[in-house]
Amino acid sequence: DVKVTQSSRYLVKRTGEKVFLECVQDMDHENMFWYRQDPGLGLRLIYFSYDVKMKEKGDIPEGYSVSREKKERFSLILESASTNQTSMYLCASSLLNTEAFFGQGTRLTVV
């Protein structure tokens, strides 16, 4: 079975901290995605990557950056965390033209 693993299930960080959310997949998928999910707003795409070192902005990239140095790992970086970045963050991966598999999510609270 495909496994998408997010490094933390729950995370609490302080305003202004640099935050790294890590995602690893074990199925050699080309595509990887980062979403955030907020009540009433649904799942919104932050960034996605279709190959190593390749990235494209999603709908809400502001305040975030990403890194994909290896095919299996896609990191989401909050350069200076703010309270409005408190959210559930979901990582996903897929082959080029198949379904996406999601991790269990990281619930980030910025205080």
Interaction of residue 50 with other proteins, rule CB under 8 A: yes
Residues 74-93 that bind other proteins (CB under 8 A): 90, 92
Pick one of 15, 80, 104, 109: the residue that binds other proteins (CB under 8 A).
104
| Contact status, residue 103 vs residue 4, Cβ threshold 8 Å | yes
- Measured over the CA atoms of residue 109, residue 18, residue 53 and residue 7, the dihedral's sign is negative
Interaction of residue 64 with other proteins, rule CB under 8 A: no
End-to-end CA distance of the chain: give it in Å, rounded. Answer: 37
Please tell me the distance from the alpha carbon of residue 41 to that of residue 35, in angstroms, as a whole number: 12
Using CB under 8 A as the criterion, which residues of the chain lie in contact with other proteins when the complex forms? 4, 30-31, 33, 35, 42-45, 48, 50, 56, 58-59, 90, 92, 94, 96-97, 99-105
